Chains A and B, each alone.
Chain A
Amino acid sequence: MRKNRLWLVVAITIAYSLPLAAQPTFPENGVANPRHGHYAFTNATIVKDASTTISNATLVVKDGKILAVGANLKVPAGAVEVDCKGKFIYPSFIDIYSDYGIPAPQRAAGGGGFNFAQPAQLETATKGAYGWNQAIKSDVDAYKVFSVDDAKAKPLREAGFGTVLSHVKDGIARGTGVVVSLANEKEHLVIIKDKASAHYSFSKGTSTQSYPGSMMGMIALLRQTFLDAQWYKTKPAAEGLNLSLQSWNDNQGLPQIFEANDKWNNLRADRIGDEFGVQYIIKSGENEYQRIKEMKSTNATFIVPLNYPAAQDVEDPNDARFVSLNDMKHWELAPANAAAFEKAGIPFCLTTADLRSVNQFWTNLRKAMEYGLSENKVLDALTKTPAMTLGIYDKVGSLDAGKWANFLITNGSLFDAKTAIQYNYVQGNKYVIKDDNFIAGTYNLTINTPAGDEKYTLDVKSTNSVTMFGKDTLNTKFSQDGKVVKLSFAPKPVRQRPSGAPEGGQRPPTAGGFGRGGAGTDATLPANAPRLSGISSGQEWNGTGIDSLGNPLTWTATFVKAAEAKPDTAKKKDAPVIGKVVFPFEPFGWEEGQQPKQETILIKNATVWTNENEGVLQNSDVLIKNGKIAAVGKNLSDASAKTIDGTGKHVTAGIIDEHSHIAAASINEGGQSVTSEVRIADNLNPDDINIYRQLSGGVTSSHILHGSANVIGGQTQLIKLRWGANDDDLKFKGWPGQIKFALGENVKRSAAPLGNNRYPDTRMGVEQVLIDAFTRARDYQKEWKKYNDIKDKKGIVTPRRDLELEALVEILEKKRFITCHSYVQSEINGAMEVANKMGYTVNTFTHILEGYKVADKMKKHGSFVSTFSDWWAYKMEVEDAIPYNAAIMQKVGLVVAINSDDAEMARRLNHEAAKIVKYGGVTEEEALKMVTLNPAKMLHVDDKVGSLKIGKDGDVVMWSDHPLAIYAKPLYTIVDGTIYFDRQKDEQLQKQVDEERLRLVRKMNGEKRSGGPTIPAMPSYQIMHSCSDHGHSHGLLVIDADEINND
């Protein structure tokens, strides 16, 4: 309860609004009353900033500014002296992530994102000379829509804030923010800086436009807007006036603040900044402690909220069952987030943003401090750092002459549990938070009745608790609200209590209890209880009342002695014991220092499937050294190697999944029919449990594809399943890029029940989209070539860079390869014809379930093919899909891969390959190649992976059985010579997971039993991305990404 004390005393707040100076331009209704607020606060301990404290010092303010600060200052003539003996003075706090005084953005009905079921909104709904995308609101200036809102200012002032940076929290680009004081003054006077910052986010806010409908789409939109804005500086006639780009450019000189809200999003934002020479200030989320090294690498200043998840009620084991370890760990560790920033030496500000109520601020701040955040850092993060970050340290952020008179007066050192903020001065205006009127202690009460004086003793404990003694201890109801004192009491004791036992009126204060009247003892008071009311003059209270018979009376209470200071029994809290961060922040993640390392590994005496001319070698060895295959053969030895007995076991190259949608924050950008500008690489998610699950099925590389929402989808990313690595380290290095195309039902949105309004709606239109895109790409290529060929570019306007067309030009230049979602023969032939016409090749046809019908043509075109083993009949265009497809295509001479497109099936790709032996009779070696060497070929990495050849990457699996047998299980899955999955170690990790779960469930239950706030248990759902092509049931806790309205 101790931590709540500050809140109790905030109960009384009265604002003394003191117009500093009338605005000259405004007429006065009445007589002029010029006042200057000239005060000198003397004898105080003044904390000028986190590193400078002056004892016995004076602060002089006038006209809302600080005139002087220091020891031995004379009180100037004309100043009112306020004796601050025993008090501390601090600069008021600054919150630079606020929407104080900003009207709430209104969202129009409908739209909002791409959804297979909804019609699209393809154009902006904003009227005027603005840019094409509704989520780019760079033209919005907060200072133009700002208005003073004292109801919102009050809780902020009570928490100690004097200054905020406000902006309109709406859109991907959000325009500029305004710095204002929290004084209850005219808008003209409270604005400290009108255009103080520019704001960005990964949320479309009220935009109803379909694009962007994904994380990668938002990133692409920001990148393209940077390019367009640069180009707009050349005043291109074709663009006319574009207010959005104009404002974008105007805003670039301001501090740039990006609301990213999540560890990976922070990195995504920072990378956009890096590309365009901008260092964003990043508004963080609650989970940065999970990747603090990466946060540090951004070199950004962060704005850190103090929001934490509540404990869940997990007493029912059946409820606890579905609350994930991650959610419980995060609950435990989130309060340590701010401390993690401090420990890592990352500059940061603190904000009240994200809190359900500003009233939580101090509770949560104290919790952050329990978890290791230091007092000095807190003060800095609330004063100097935000002021420096915005470049307004000349105005606020410390107590120095010339700055705005925004300061706090407290009755002790700010962070002591017993200390209260008594006054928050904003622009020299005094706002009372907890006045001195109330003095706890013993009072003598005299009630003057017609029968004579009655004497009592009052032991006043708090503003709503008193113990009253006459002959006996009496039941009371008491309140002191500012100067007004009220007391009623039972004239006779209701029941005896042992002395010293708490009275009814001493109900323990509860959080947020301020503002309530007395403690709830009225029920115990008789109806005829005498009622007294009076006014406090500090040490003396005087008033009137009515006695138990209804007669009027008068009364007086006088202060006798202060309450005896109770010895501080509360022990200094030890830092809480908390679990360890694991990498990734997932079950089966590694603790720091436990990550598997690259080793020299020698597998002895196994059946080795080389995928090379040597074929399958019996009783042979494989040596992996420095992350590469060092030797394959018999009787190998290496003294430094970890030796694994492979007797009776099989060794193959790691499985490569040509078509996967794991490990990404978003998969489909369907807002337009051509989105070659979006990149899966921009939104990789290393915290996907499916990485580990695929490792358990022998997969070492996965090709993460854009979905099939549109004809030209996004750029794909090949990853290696380095469980625990960050997003950048997941990438398969040295891989030429690919891009996803799609044909057929999905791109014409056949499943949309309300119909489709996005071009194309037929396979005829699909062909035209392709032709149009590549025609534009060729023109674009020509335009740039022409420009690049000009030697003297003086006076020549640089063409506009177009990220969409750039990616297509890469295809034409054979630097980027297509993998094309396709099913029926007409569209496959159509796609090849367009490719031939436009001068490119369709590198891979993926899905390609009617490939068997056109295998000869694809061979001639030079395509690879990647298919499912036996899927069919889930939609019209796969009605003719047959499981013999792969075998026929292979026999015709195509390089065939079997892919998963599904996190579940990806764990059994060896079995999917085995089905091609069953259906069509390819040899077992050829079948295995369909999930190893063949996908490597179509991904253009067969020089690095796909077979057990000396010099290739050490991506190797050891199986318990024949790798195509249903009974085969991977025993080791090795990537780059590092064992990422080890079936025995998996059992240990599972034990750790179970133990950690048990510990945390108990801890949450403890929290509940000790009266802490808990919310009902919420199952931890996971989002699963797919091609949106076929339904999968992945169990109780999985939500398909398509069910989610991306916003």
Chain B
Amino acid sequence: MKKIFLILSIGFFFSVNAQETVLPTKPHKGVSYIKNATIHLGNGKVVENGTIKIVDGKIAEVGTNVSVPAGTTDVVDATGKHVYPGLILATSTLGLGEINSVRATQDSREIGDMNPNVRALVAYNTDSKVINTLRSNGILLANIIPQGSFVTGSSSVVQLDAWNWEDAAYKTDAGIHVTMPSLMARPGGRRFGGGGGSGPQQPASDPVKEGLEQMEGLKSFLREAKAYLNEASHEETNLKYEAVKGLFNKSQKLYMHGNTVKQILVALDFVKEFGLEMVLVGGSESFQVAELLKQHNVSVILSQPHSLPTGEDDDVDQPYKTAAVLQKAGVLFAISDEDGQTRGRNLSFNAGTAAAYGLTKEEALAAITLNAAKIMGVADKAGSIEVGKDANIVVSEGDILDMRTSNVTDAFIQGRKIDLTDKHKLLNDRFQQKYELKKKGF
């Protein structure tokens, strides 16, 4: 630990409370190595005492018999350390909102409930101070998702070392997002006023009926969009139809945000007609229908395993165990961390908890690397340490899933060794100096 502070204080002795000095790195050219590491490939396999060769930003070789030529300077000696694929935050509003409670900093929710044409990518702020704090915990890619009611827009995958959103774009507009209607009655506030319960109160309207109507409306929209897109030319251009083109040619996936079994059933019915590729986001109740999800080839993003059980009657550890249920059923799933207080940086610990409650460590790792890449359509270039893929790599002092040992010492995006400084480290450094802690032996 002392080592980290030492490095930091040397590197940024004159830096103040800002991250303006943290520069995106130039594209990787030539050959670099990471050697003598325990390499977790992300696909379930682990290579002990292995070496990775990176050439022009890509992984060229991985294994125990990769030799580092004498005199090579661009080498990270990871002896005793663990190496992982860059972690992927599968659902996030990173860069769309800086301070949750300050409206002026919020760019994640557009007005209206039919916004397929709205693009998260264009609002992604590469200078957000949150980004570097995530990199410090090994998160190198994130799926930036617009929020709101019903059809909220398209998401893009970004890499977290960029000057601007164009540079950051890793896969553009690859997901259309639908916040599903709740399909669930909710009581009026007065039920909870004062003292004793007067028993359940009947809802004023039928949320199931209303929600189904809303979903039928979306079906009509897609039917019309499909017909429109089949026209050779249009008298009038419809931007919203144009925005969902990729759903039909499968260059876009449909992300259905929902949790309950009813929502899942409705979503399955919905995609059947159009043959769309669906991702369920949320999925807190998915453990009840894991087989069904498998049958329909639906992939799942568990958005917050660090969560309370849905109901009082549930297994107190249910949210921790849900991942293992999906794993057992063979469902392709990713784990995310949507926490608004910690801003997503506990992603690996959400996976760690799933490992404590039924996943193997490598399965848990896949849930925040390769599985997420598969779901987001970037597995051809990210998500695992395999030859030919981008060199998105994290080096940690120990097990990255466990906060006792999870300390990222180096990280590479597309082979670029990125600067792991962040606002928090800078402030830490500043006040280390104020109190002269090093002098006092800390």
A interface residue numbers (CB < 8 A to B) = 202-203, 215, 260-263, 265, 285-287, 307-310, 312, 318, 321-322, 324-327, 330-331, 354, 586-588, 689-690, 692-693, 696, 745, 750-751, 852-853, 855-856, 868, 870-876, 879-880, 882-884, 888, 891-892, 903-905, 907-908, 911, 914-915, 917-921, 924, 962, 964-969, 986, 990, 993-994, 997, 1015-1023, 1030-1039, 1041, 1043-1047
Contacts and interface: CB of A to CB of B under 8 A. Distances in A.
Contacts of B203: 1016, 1018
Given A696-B316, A1020-B312, A1043 B189 contact: yes
Contacts of A888: 428, 431-432, 435, 437
Given A587-B313, A875-B101, A1030-B340, A904 B427 contact: no
A911 B348 CA distance: 13
B116 to A, nearest CB: 25
Contacts of B199: 286, 307-310, 327, 330-331
B336 interface: no
Q: Tell which of B5, B355, B431, B432 has the most Cβ of chain A within 10 Å.
A: B431
Given A287-B197, A986-B316, A1033-B304, A1020 B404 contact: no
Nearest to A890: B442
Interface residues of B, number: 78
Contacts of A908: 306, 353
Interface in B415-442: 423-425, 427-428, 431-432, 435, 437, 440, 442
A285 B404 contact: no
Contacts of A1032: 340-341
A924 B405 CA distance: 11
Contacts of B147: none
Contacts of A990: 315
B132 to A, nearest CB: 12
Given A888-B431, A969-B356, A1021 B186 contact: yes
B67 interface: no
Contacts of A1035: 259, 284, 307-310
Contact of A873 (B99, B193, B260): B99
Contacts of A1019: 184-186
- Could you say which of B313, B440, B442 has the most chain A C-beta atoms within 10 Å of its C-beta? B313
A321 B194 CA distance: 27
Contacts of A891: 435, 437, 440, 442
B111 interface: no
B261 interface: yes
Contact of B196 (A285, A326, A870, A873): A285
B317 A696 contact: yes
B66 interface: no
27 contacts: A309-B199, A321-B260, A322-B184, A324-B312, A324-B313, A325-B313, A326-B312, A327-B199, A692-B316, A852-B428, A852-B431, A870-B346, A873-B343, A904-B306, A911-B403, A920-B1, A924-B404, A993-B313, A1018-B200, A1018-B201, A1018-B203, A1020-B311, A1031-B340, A1034-B308, A1039-B186, A1044-B189, A1047-B190
B396 to A, nearest CB: 11
Contacts of B129: 873
B99 A876 contact: yes
B11 interface: no
Contacts of A868: 341
Interface string B195-225: 1111111110000000000000000000000
Given A203-B195, A872-B341, A1036-B285, 17 more contacts: A215-B195, A265-B196, A325-B312, A327-B200, A882-B428, A884-B425, A891-B437, A892-B435, A908-B306, A966-B403, A967-B356, A1018-B187, A1020-B312, A1021-B192, A1023-B192, A1030-B340, A1037-B310
Given A262-B197, A322-B311, A883 B202 contact: no
A443 to B, nearest CB: 46
A597 B5 CA distance: 50
Contacts, number: 251
Contacts of B261: 318, 321
- Mostly, the A contact residues are loop
B115 interface: no
Most chain-B CB neighbours within 10 Å: which of A880, A1043, A1044?
A1044
Nearest to B182: A1036
A629 B29 CA distance: 64
Nearest to A309: B199
Nearest to A961: B356
B352 interface: yes
A325 B356 CA distance: 28
A261 B1 contact: no
B406 interface: yes
B98 interface: yes
Nearest to A922: B1
Given A908-B306, A964-B404, A1018-B185, A1044 B192 contact: yes
Contacts of A855: 431, 435
A759 to B, nearest CB: 22
Given A310-B199, A856-B435, A969-B356, A874 B341 contact: yes
B141 to A, nearest CB: 21
Contacts of A1021: 186-187, 192
Given A868-B341, A904-B307, A1019-B186, A884 B424 contact: yes
B193 A1047 contact: yes
B342 interface: yes
Interface in B288-322: 288, 304, 306-313, 315-317
Interface in B1-30: 1-2, 4-5, 17
Contacts of B2: 921
A286 B284 contact: no
Nearest to A1039: B192
Interface string B96-114: 0011111000000000000
List 9 A-B pairs, minimum CB-CB distance, nearest first. A921-B1, A262-B196, A285-B196, A309-B199, A1018-B200, A966-B352, A261-B196, A875-B101, A884-B428
B81 to A, nearest CB: 15
A917 B403 contact: yes
Contacts of A915: 403
Contacts of B1: 917, 920-921
Contacts of A308: 199
B407 interface: yes
B402 interface: yes
A882 B424 contact: yes
A694 to B, nearest CB: 10
B401 interface: yes
B436 to A, nearest CB: 10
Given A309-B199, A312-B200, A1047-B193, A883 B185 contact: no
B157 interface: no
